[in-house]
Structure formats: C-alpha cells, structure tokens
Structure 1
Amino acid sequence: MRYQNTYVNLDTRLYHEQPPTPLDNPRAGHFNTPLAQQLGWADDDELMARWVDILGGQYVPTAFKPLAMAYAGHQFGQWAGQLGDGRGLLMAQVLDNNDQLQDLHLKGIGLTPYSRMGDGRAVLRSTIREYLCGHALTQLGIPSSNALGFVVSDTKVRRERMEAGAALMRVADSHIRLGHVEWITSFAPDLLSEFTDYMIDTYYPKCRDSKAPVLAFLTAVVERTARMIADWQLIGFAHGVMNTDNLSITGSTLDFGPFGFMERFNPAWINNHSDHTGRYAYQNQPAIGHWNLNIWLPHFMRLEEVTRDGLSDCLAPYEATFMQHYQQGLCRKLGLPHEKDSLTLAFEWLTLLEDNLLDYTNSFRALLGLIAPDEHPYEQQLLATMTAELDQKAQKVWQDWSISYLAQIELVSFEQAINDMRAHNPVYVLRNSMAQRAITAAEQGQFEEVNRVFNLLADPYQVQDIATELDSTPPTPNAPQMPISCSS
C-alpha cells in the first residue's frame, strides 16, 4: 500500500498514540476483497496472510501509526463536551488505486483516553450491521465509509446481554468530523488555523485557488453535506443519530448505529428507539444537517479572514443545493426530466405511498413493470403486489395517477427513462430483517448468510438469482418496527 500518514504529524494534543488491545482468539468474519484490491492491501502478501491478526489487534504492521482522535460534539442538540475515539484507532492513511486518500480505522480495539464510561469494544451484531451498511451505501452510489473486513472473537462484551466481541476495519476518505473543530475551539483554540489549513490542503486543495480559501472550503463542506443528505432521502436511508460528531467534513456517511432503510413509507419514521422526540426522524434529516452546519460554522470566526457575513454566505447554498439534488434525483427515479410537471407527479406519488404505507423501494422499482412490463417480469410482479394492497379509494387514486404518469413518459425518450429508472431505483437495500438474519446465523458461527447478503448488495440495481423472497418482503403495515438502538 502507498502510505501517507499525515494526521500523526499534527499537534499531539489532537490525538493519543497507542496500539490496539488484542481480542481473544480472533477469527475471520468476512473480508472485502474488492476493497482490498482498491487499497493495494491485496498486493501485500504479509497483509493478506495476517489480516485476521491485524483486525484482531494482535499484530500492527510497521507502516501503521495507530492513534485515537480527540473531538467533541453536540449530541441530540446538546453540547456533549469532549468525546473522541473511545474504541477506535486511526491505524494508517493510504492512497488507493484512484489516488484518493483513505483512512484505515480499526473499531473495537479496547480502551483509549476518550472511552469515558465505555469498555472500548464492539459487539458482533453492530459490527455486521456497519459492515453491510457501508458496503450497501457504497454500491448504491452514495458517498460512505466502507469496511475492509471484520473479525469475531472469544472476548466477551456486556451490552443488554453478554455478546461476542468483534472488530471492524473501517475505510473512509476522512475521519475528521464537524466535532473536531468543536473540540479545537473549546480546548486548543490556538490550533484552529493550522488544522483548517490541514483540512483544506488534504481534502479540498482546489479551494487554495480561491481568493478566500477558508470560505471556499466551508462552502464546499456545506454543499457536500447537502448532497449527501439528499442522497439519503432519495434512497430511503435514515442515519438515526446525526450528531455533529457523526458528520464528516467530506460529506461521506460515517458512523452506523441505529440506521435503517425505509420500508413502509412513513416520512415521520424514527428508526432509533432512543430518539424519543423524533429529532432524527427520516423527514428531519435535511433540517438537522442545516442545524449542525449552523452550529459548526461560527467556530471559524476565530480566524482573521472570516466574518459573520462571510459565514452566512457559506451556509446560504445549503437549501438550494439540497433541493436541486433531491428534486433532480426524484425525477430520475420516475424516468422524467427535472421540471414542474414531473415534480407534481413525484410528490403525488410519494403521497400515495405514504397514505397507503406502501414499500418505498419496491414501489419505485415496480414502476418499470408499469411502463415496460414485457421487459421487467420481476417488476411486474412487484406492481401486482403493490396494487393488491390498495383499497377501492386508493385504487382510483392510483389509476388516475398512472394515467397522468404514462402520459408524461410518452413525452420523453423511452430508452432514457428506462435507463434512469434502472440506475436510480434499487431492487435491494439492507432491510433490518436481512441484517438480522445474517447476524443470527453469525452468532451461531455461520457466516454464509453474511456472504450472501454482501454479494447481493454488491449489485443492488440488478435482479439476482441469489436473492430470496424475504430480501424484498417488507413488514406488514403497522407492524412494530425492529428496535435498533445506539448500543453497539
């Protein structure tokens, strides 16, 4: 691998260098071979031979420089003070085959100075969920951390019950969070200028060409965050815990706790059972993204070149960027151009889904069975299943809407419409029930289901022979949702 360990060269107040605390008897869970090839890991015989030892914390390659990052954050809208990597270490930074800087971050490695009341460990169920979700979002085309692999061990970890300890090597284009800047301005304000320069030079070098590089950098973070959250909304993904310490400066999805992919469409869906007020409900994610950035930006007022008006200008593009990206994406999901009539149809369609609690993923994909049934037998069956759930009143709404929709489709390139719909409406997302079946088998020492789901999600926009009926079956309407908490 091409190592580029630069974070370790920053001021030592920003991190704590330490090795991982080994797990007992680590064993292979799953390994992401395509990602290993992208990183250059697959070209190193030692790394390939000892990947279980490395992820289990029993061996640290010489080129690795493990450290725990310090950061702070606002959690559920409240200042939480110092946080930091309480169970993870940034092990190394490398350039991948695309010359993209990637962080290798080992999660579940034991206590650090930032562990607070935690035990520094991760359990198998949450590790599998994060492993599969990062993979799922990446293959869906949404900026996200991914993972090289995970191991399970004989180390026992207590959560609601005793569970098997596990560790995961997370790969992300950055692990710098909004909370890093919050920590600096609270505990080491003299580092803000140096750290801002590092963020710009490392992650946003093109901003150096601007007359005001810092403001250009801040605007770019705002716009990337808006596009990321628009991507979440379009695919039906709910992060579940959008604290400022869980948002990356690069606009890539980071930290998978109580996440979920929308099944029965309900914009007020709360997927985190600890979120009693619904702060992080699916429909609130765009507003929370804005709130987090609005909390983050004023910290840069300490820099001489930054003014309050300048920061206001940086935040201003958020709403327009989000709305344009979301509306364009929504029209593509329907195979229509981004224009007023298309948006009217799109929002009528979402209302139909919400009023009848139809499955979000299946219903969008089913529209291929409406406009080109002969080419899409699978989608034709989805359409039949969907319409069978509609009562008489809803059937009339559906018939009226479908007539208007087909009339709009006739005005556009049919081939382009089909291509857009296939490319933006997945057949498969990581439903909670899918993840749970893989977890249940893995807790019995059987990882075949993890592998099957991993392979299924590797090509989510194509109908696959390895799929089962359960992979596309939503819960019954109004069924109690599977409780997903921050406990991991």
Structure 2
Amino acid sequence: MADYRPAPRLEQSQLALHDAVAAADFPQTLLRYRNQRAAQTVGLEGLTAADWIAHFGRFQPLPDNQPIPLALRYHGHQFRHYNPDLGDGRGFLFAQLLDDRDRLLDLGTKGSGKTPWSRGGDGKLTLKGGVREVLATAMLEALGVPTSKSFSLIETGEQLMRGDEPSPTRSSVLVRLSHSHIRFGTFERLAYHNDAETMRDLVAFILANYYPDCTDATALFDAVVTQAARLAASWMAAGFVHGVLNTDNMNITGESFDYGPYRFLPYYDPAFTAAYFDQTGLYAYGRQPDAVLWNLGQLGRCLTLITEPDPLIASFNAFNDRYERELGLAICQRLNISPKPDNAPLVMALYDFLADLRTDGSFEGLFYDWFGGRISETRALSGPRAVSYSGETFTAFHDILKTYDPAAPEKLDHLRFKQPDPETLLIDEIETIWAQIALEDDWSLFEAKLAAIETYRQAL
C-alpha cells in the first residue's frame, strides 16, 4: 500500500465530538461490492480479499490509523423539529486518510452495530438498503453530483426485522468514502450546549483541513453557502430527490450522502417526493433548494455563538443568487454546452419544456438526446423521443439552445451515444435488481447495472 497515507486527524485533535465504540461481531462476512476505483485514490487497491474483509467487515484498524472506531455526536432538525438525541446510531468514523489530490477523506460506516446514539435500534443495515446506496452513489457520480462513494458492501448473515419492508430480511454493512463526517448537526449540538470553546476549536479544525483559504467562521460560512448552492443545483440538474434533507444529513464540505428513500425523477414534477412519510412534501424535488437554505439558516444561527451575525446574514441572503448561477452551470454541464454569463433564460425554457413531458425516462432522456446542444439535433430528432420535440415550449427551448456552443463535442464519439436510450435508475429498476437478489441470490443484474452506469459516467 505504497500510496496509502493515514491521517487520523479528528482522533488526534482531541475535539470532544465523539465516543469510542466497538463494531458488531457479524456471523458472516460475504463481500458483495468493492469499489476498486475509489480504493485506488486512497492507496488501498492492493488489499487482498481477506484483508479487505478484515478491515471493512471485521473493522480491524488500518495501519497507523484510528485504533478504535468513533461514533460522532450531533443533534439535528428532522423535518424541522429539533432532536437533541441524535448521533451516529448505526455507523462510525473508521479511518481518515489522504487521497491522490491531498484531500482529507473519511471512511465511515452504515450498519456497523449499536452505539450510544442508537436510541433502541439494532444499529444494523438491511442488504437492500446497502444495495440501494451503492446504486445511488454510482449514478449520482455519473451525473456530476458531489457525493460520497460507496466503498464496500459486505453481507453479514443476520435476519433483520423492519416495519417498512418484508421481514425478516438480510443484513449488510456499508463503508462510505467521503470528504467529511462533520454535519450541520455537529454545530447544532455545540450551540445547544452553549459550548463556544469547542465550536471555535471545531471551526479551526475545519479551516485547517477543508477550507485553508478561509480565515475565520464568517468566511467559512460564506464558503459553505456556496458549496451548498452547488450541491442543491446538482441535485436539480440530475433529477434527484434526496428524500430526507434534515440538518444531520448535510455535511460541512457540501457532499450528498446517506441515501435512504431517494428517487430519481421519471419525469419533471416539482411535487415529487421520495419518502412515503413526507406527508407534506417538505422535501419534494422542487422544494430542495428551500430545504438547503433553511438548513443553512440553522448553521448560521449556531455560528452566532462565536461571531457577529450581520456577515452571516449577508452570506445567507446570497444563497438564492448563487444557487441560480450554479443551476445554470449544472444544466450547461449536463447538456455539454459552454455556459454564458447569464444562463437563466436557458434554464427557464428547459424547465418549461420539461413540464410538458410526462413519460417515464423523459427527464434524463432530454439531457441525453441534446447532449452537445445543436450538434445533437439529428440524433435527437431521429431517436425514440423525437415525437416529444415539438410545440411552443420546445421551440422556445430549442431556439435558445441553438445559440450555445458545444463544450466537448468529442464526447459524442463515445459508443454509449450510439444507443437510443440514456442510463436511468428509476424505482422499478431498483426493485427488479433487488428481487433477483432476494429470491435467487442472483447478483448479475446488480453487477450489470453498475457496469452500465460506469460506462455512462465515462461517456458523460
């Protein structure tokens, strides 16, 4: 592991943000997914199969890294109701290390057993939940969303009881590779306890390890606002609905993570929700930017414990403009066209047209068909969705699109663009993949889907 560079900085910082815990002792460790591409970025690609399972199924410490897992403490607003009884209830920070770009990254778990924050739960993850998260992170990465990476999925041989799926059901433990484990809820906990000293130390830690160009809490918040605007825009451009945008599900570095009841839009619908328990549509597709802004408000409120509020308010008020700019850039990236100084007319025309398309696959289909802008006209107008490309809203979108130059026309030479349809990850596809695993222990559809998504990523 010549390129492996351990960096257990949170453990070394002595910040009072975590509890030492032990991983569950699983009856079985059967490797179901290994992200070799991600492993290469952190120098772990050379691990043998036995060593991989020892580290990511049995949680034997990595060399010179954390000697024991750490369950982080945090609070959070869940559907805008404050909950002081949160924390890592079925996961922990296993290790920190530097990647091939000198970024500090975390290896964290999901389903690794009980912690002081389990609140009566078993601390475990269903195998279906693990499969769904692996698929989600692969697809989001392909579509350009800043996301955690599913690093490892190991089936653990237990039968779990759950109220929202047929039980007993198979169990697993997931390991994620992400930029930071520190959540908005980490700050909420410190504010709740009026712990200004630890919050100052936490800000100093974040500045040193994640935002070296920022000098204080005010500058940090401004940078986080920008990162959050970029994240929200990337979700919207990908047609992704996170489902549970609580403050404990947003981290300080602006990555998407923790995929429970997520969905990808089959077609444009601002009221589309991912979670069956989101009765009011608080986290519906079209309300995600507002949810992110509300969460930023909670983070800013916490920081008033250690800094003046006026600059924080100014950064908070800048979110909408930054979001609109980032959405324009994200739409241009998805269409493979070079952005202009003002992309708002294109974005408005695109969503007006999407509102007229109500067939499954039409959201991703539009971006696929018109990838490259005007140079894809023949391809789009001779493809399976050609009948949709007519009418007033299409003409308005098309007229604006024609004024944009393609960003990287050579991408269309990829063989993936010879296929008529885009890659999608709709709920029926996920259920079909899981049914084959659940009924026959057949992983071929899962593996084929990941291979297809990887091809799509390379093409895009």
Q: Do Structure 1 and Structure 2 share a fold, with TM-score over 0.5?
A: yes
Instruction: Verify the 8 A CA contact 1:362 1:382 in the aligned structure 2.
Output: no
Cα distance 1:301–1:411, how it changes in 2: closer, same or farther (>3 A)?
A: closer
Q: 1:445 aligns with which of 441, 446, 449?
A: 441
Q: Deviations over 1:85-120 (max 9, x none)?
A: 101111100001221111011221111001012110
How far, CA to CA, are the matches of 2:302 and 2:265 in structure 1? 35
Cα distance 1:410–1:20, how it changes in 2: closer, same or farther (>3 A)?
A: closer
| Farther off after superposition, 169-178 or 328-337 | 328-337
Whether 1:228 and 2:231 are equivalent positions in the alignment is: yes
How far, CA to CA, are the matches of 1:147 and 1:374 in structure 2? 36
How far, CA to CA, are the matches of 1:16 and 1:418 in structure 2? 51
Whether 1:115 and 2:118 are equivalent positions in the alignment is: yes
Instruction: Verify the 8 A CA contact 1:88 1:107 in the aligned structure 2.
Output: yes
Cα distance 1:339–1:288, how it changes in 2: closer, same or farther (>3 A)?
A: same
Cα distance 1:123–1:250, how it changes in 2: closer, same or farther (>3 A)?
A: same
Identity of aligned residues (%): 26
Paired position in structure 2 for 1:310 = 311
How far, CA to CA, are the matches of 1:372 and 1:91 in structure 2? 48
Q: How many correspondences in the alignment?
A: 442
Post-superposition shift, 1:56? 2.2
Cα distance 1:179–1:125, how it changes in 2: closer, same or farther (>3 A)?
A: same
Structure 2: runs of 5 or more not aligned: none
How far, CA to CA, are the matches of 1:187 and 1:298 in structure 2? 14
Paired position in structure 2 for 1:29 = 32
Paired position in structure 1 for 2:185 = 179
Whether 1:338 and 2:304 are equivalent positions in the alignment is: no
Matches for 1:286-305 after TM superposition, within 5 Å = 286-303=289-306
Instruction: Verify the 8 A CA contact 1:427 1:463 in the aligned structure 2.
Output: no
Q: Deviations over 1:6-32 (max 9, x none)?
A: 111244642111221121111011111
AA matched with 1:27: L
Whether 1:75 and 2:58 are equivalent positions in the alignment is: no
Q: 2:452 aligns with which of 450, 456, 464?
A: 456
AA matched with 1:380: S
Post-superposition shift, 1:436? 2.0
Instruction: Verify the 8 A CA contact 2:16 2:198 in the aligned structure 1.
Output: no
AA matched with 1:327: G
Cα distance 1:271–1:93, how it changes in 2: closer, same or farther (>3 A)?
A: same
Structure 1: runs of 5 or more not aligned: 388-397, 465-488
Post-superposition shift, 1:407? 4.5
Paired position in structure 2 for 1:240 = 243
How far, CA to CA, are the matches of 1:410 and 1:299 in structure 2? 46
AA matched with 2:384: L
Post-superposition shift, 1:215? 0.8
Paired position in structure 2 for 1:322 = 323
Q: Deviations over 1:370-422 (max 9, x none)?
A: 94568738x732323646xxxxxxxxxx2444445554455444x54857999
Paired position in structure 1 for 2:370 = 367
AA matched with 2:443: F
AA matched with 1:230: A
Whether 1:194 and 2:201 are equivalent positions in the alignment is: yes
Paired position in structure 2 for 1:168 = 174
TM-score w.r.t. length of structure 1: 0.83
Matches for 1:98-137 after TM superposition, within 5 Å = 98-137=101-140
Cα distance 1:368–1:130, how it changes in 2: closer, same or farther (>3 A)?
A: closer
Q: Deviations over 1:239-271 (max 9, x none)?
A: 110000000100010211111111121111111
TM-score w.r.t. length of structure 2: 0.88
**Counterpart secondary structure, 1:355:** coil
How far, CA to CA, are the matches of 2:346 and 2:224 in structure 1? 32
How far, CA to CA, are the matches of 2:354 and 2:399 in structure 1? 20
